[in-house]
């Protein structure tokens, strides 16, 4: 029987040679590369471009701005050996070092930020990966589960639901959007040791260094503006054997990013990586620098003053409309007592005198009466911005910071425009405003706000 077993299960000689070779050779060969530019990089041979990432002249652009839910990843084509001997020694990890230069440039500096991730993944398309704040990498699972996906996030937005510490931080993500550890972006000055913060989201080129120390389960990350020498002390150090739960034998290595409505260009300018011990040095002298072209997006001081007045005027108009309706209702009851709940929560009503005083001080005249005349110029300006798809540019920073999302800012401004519609018949009534603010979609209310539509409407009205 022995020979029968042997016959049936003993592999054929060519296969034997293969198995023998596989056990002798390292599971994958050493990786050591340097891209000072991506100008001649082609898909599948030099990099793997997934979804919306593209080679754009000399850099890799991860996102396509015309798609609101765009995401993109780029990987090195060859997998990196992370667990050299998975069957006999699954928790002995190997080491590598990498360094890269990236640029994050939003269209609107106060819009919600996203950032990008450096990633180790068993798959070029991790299952269930979603866009928006999930970097096009993670699922929205609230419970962390073991899977070979490990990322270093360079996060330029604060998402409090996942406990982000601020809107400019780096963190270690173990198969989950919620970082296991994170610190504010900055570097330790090599001379005096002090921590120097800097903004990763102004288009300036940022250099990052990551050391993955497998035997010690340790990841060191440093970031600094290009031009600063490699800091001696890393910005972030994470040391935990739990890392072994989030790696596989061989892993793709690369970058991932995603967005929603707000445009934020994410670019990789240069990249080097080595698992042989010596990282080749990136030459940063000729790297491109990205900034926004000067256009209507840069606002003069006059325009900014206009924004403040405009916002107060719009909110005033809405408030005044509400006040009039409320007063009409109150007249029926003939009582103007302040109820207890109002004192407890929020002054939900204003006297006419209060309102007039505030608006007069801010605008220097009686805006309610003159809204149809001089102040309409301001409205036209906001309407022009709206026509150009940039209505949020009209919002003062203080207003933006008080609103939870830019969608809210946009809604308020659109509402303001609707309330100033040249055709009074098309202005929303209070009931419509309230239901809109409570979240029920009333898109028909918010149409005809563009300069062209408004002009048509004015002509028709005249």
Ligand X SMILES: *[C@@H]1O[C@H](CO)[C@@H](O)[C@H](O)[C@H]1NC(C)=O
Helix (H/G/I), strand (E/B), else coil: 197: strand
> Is 248 one of the binding residues for ligand X (CB under 6 A)?
yes
Out of 43, 110, 159, 181, the only residue in the binding site for ligand X (CB under 6 A) is 43
Out of 283, 401, 405, 429, the only residue in the binding site for ligand X (CB under 6 A) is 283
Q: Which of 75, 79, 74, 99 is nearest to 31 (CA)?
A: 79
Count of chain residues binding ligand X (CB under 6 A):
28
Strand pairing of 236-239 and 206-213?
A: unpaired
> Is 211 one of the binding residues for ligand X (CB under 6 A)?
yes
Question: Which residues are within 8 A (CB) of 430 and not within 5 positions of it... i.e. 6 or more apart?
Answer: 321, 322, 325
Residue 392 in tokens: 């949020």
Which C-beta is closer to ligand X: that of 213 or that of 432? 213
> Is 99 one of the binding residues for ligand X (CB under 6 A)?
no
> Is 294 one of the binding residues for ligand X (CB under 6 A)?
yes
Which C-beta is closer to ligand X: that of 109 or that of 237? 237
**b/e map of 427-461 (b: 16 or more CB within 10 Å)?**
bbebebbeebeeeeebeebbebbbeebbeebeeee
Which C-beta is closer to ligand X: that of 51 or that of 375? 51
Closest separation in Å from C-beta 136 to ligand X:
14
Closest separation in Å from C-beta 146 to ligand X:
9
Out of 28, 122, 435, 457, the only residue in the binding site for ligand X (CB under 6 A) is 122
* HEC profile of 82-120: CCCCCCCCCCCCCCEEEEEEEEEEECCCCCCCCCEEEEE
Report how far residue 175's alpha carbon sits from residue 156's, in angstroms, rounded to the nearest whole number: 19
Closest separation in Å from C-beta 391 to ligand X:
22
> Is 245 one of the binding residues for ligand X (CB under 6 A)?
no
Which C-beta is closer to ligand X: that of 142 or that of 351? 142
Out of 142, 163, 305, 447, the only residue in the binding site for ligand X (CB under 6 A) is 142
Q: Yes or no: say if 268 and 254 are a contact pair by the CB < 8 Å rule.
A: no
Out of 31, 34, 41, 48, the only residue in the binding site for ligand X (CB under 6 A) is 48
Report how far residue 267's alpha carbon sits from residue 288's, in angstroms, rounded to the nearest whole number: 11
Count of alpha carbons within 13 Å of 382, Cβ hemisphere only?
Answer: 30
Closest separation in Å from C-beta 178 to ligand X:
12
Residues 302-341 contacting ligand X, CB under 6 A: none
Out of 27, 28, 37, 64, the only residue in the binding site for ligand X (CB under 6 A) is 64
> Is 192 one of the binding residues for ligand X (CB under 6 A)?
yes
Closest separation in Å from C-beta 289 to ligand X:
12
Q: Which of 271, 150, 269, 143 is nearest to 212 (CA)?
A: 150
Report how far residue 375's alpha carbon sits from residue 372's, in angstroms, rounded to the nearest whole number: 7
> Is 140 one of the binding residues for ligand X (CB under 6 A)?
yes
Out of 4, 45, 87, 285, the only residue in the binding site for ligand X (CB under 6 A) is 285
Report how far residue 198's alpha carbon sits from residue 217's, in angstroms, rounded to the nearest whole number: 28
Give residues in contact with ligand X (CB under 6 A).
43-44, 48-49, 54, 64, 66-67, 122, 140, 142, 148, 189, 192, 194, 196, 211, 213, 218, 220, 234, 237, 248, 283, 285-286, 294, 298
């Amino acid at each position: 029987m022995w020979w029968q077993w042997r016959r049936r299960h003993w592999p054929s000689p060519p296969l034997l040679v293969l198995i023998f070779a596989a056990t002798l050779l390292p599971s994958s060969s050493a990786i050591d590369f340097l891209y000072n530019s991506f100008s001649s990089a082609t898909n599948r041979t030099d990099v793997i471009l997934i979804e919306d990432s593209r080679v754009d002249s000399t850099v890799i652009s991860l996102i396509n701005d015309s798609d609101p839910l765009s995401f993109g990843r780029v990987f090195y084509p060859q997998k990196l050996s992370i667990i050299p001997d998975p069957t006999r020694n699954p928790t002995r990890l190997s080491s590598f070092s990498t360094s890269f230069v990236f640029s994050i440039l939003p269209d609107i500096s106060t819009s919600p930020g996203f950032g990008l991730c450096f990633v180790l993944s068993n798959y070029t398309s991790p299952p269930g990966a979603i866009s928006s704040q999930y970097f096009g990498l993670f699922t929205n699972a609230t419970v962390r589960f073991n899977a070979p996906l490990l990322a270093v996030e360079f996060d330029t937005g604060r998402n409090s639901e996942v406990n982000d510490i601020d809107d400019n931080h780096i963190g270690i993500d173990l198969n989950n959007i919620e970082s296991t550890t994170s610190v504010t972006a900055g570097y330790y000055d090599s001379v005096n040791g002090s921590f120097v913060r800097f903004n990763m989201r102004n288009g300036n080129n940022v250099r990052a260094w990551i050391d993955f120390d497998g035997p010690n389960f340790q990841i060191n990350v440093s970031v600094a503006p290009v031009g600063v020498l490699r800091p001696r002390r890393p910005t972030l150090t994470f040391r935990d054997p739990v890392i072994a739960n989030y790696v596989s034998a061989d892993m793709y290595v690369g970058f991932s990013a995603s967005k929603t409505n707000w445009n934020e260009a994410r670019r990789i300018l240069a990249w080097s990586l080595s698992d042989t011990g010596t990282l080749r040095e990136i030459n940063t002298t000729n790297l491109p620098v990205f900034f926004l072209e000067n256009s209507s997006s840069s606002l003069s001081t006059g325009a900014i003053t206009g924004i403040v007045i405009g916002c107060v005027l719009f909110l005033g108009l809405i408030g005044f409309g509400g006040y009039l309706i409320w007063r009409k209702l109150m007249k029926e009851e003939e009582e103007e007592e302040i109820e207890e709940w109002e004192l407890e929560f929020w002054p939900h009503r204003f006297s006419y005198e209060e309102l007039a005083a505030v608006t007069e001080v801010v605008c220097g005249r009686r805006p309610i009466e003159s809204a149809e005349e001089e102040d309409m110029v301001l409205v036209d300006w906001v309407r022009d911005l709206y026509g150009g798809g940039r209505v949020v540019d009209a919002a003062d920073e203080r207003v933006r910071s008080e609103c939870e999302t830019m969608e809210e800012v946009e809604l308020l401004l659109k509402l303001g425009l609707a309330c100033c519609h040249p055709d009074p018949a098309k202005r929303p009534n209070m009931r419509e405003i309230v239901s809109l603010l409570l979240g029920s979609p009333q898109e028909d209310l918010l149409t005809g706000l563009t300069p062209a539509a408004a002009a048509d409407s004015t002509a028709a009205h005249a």
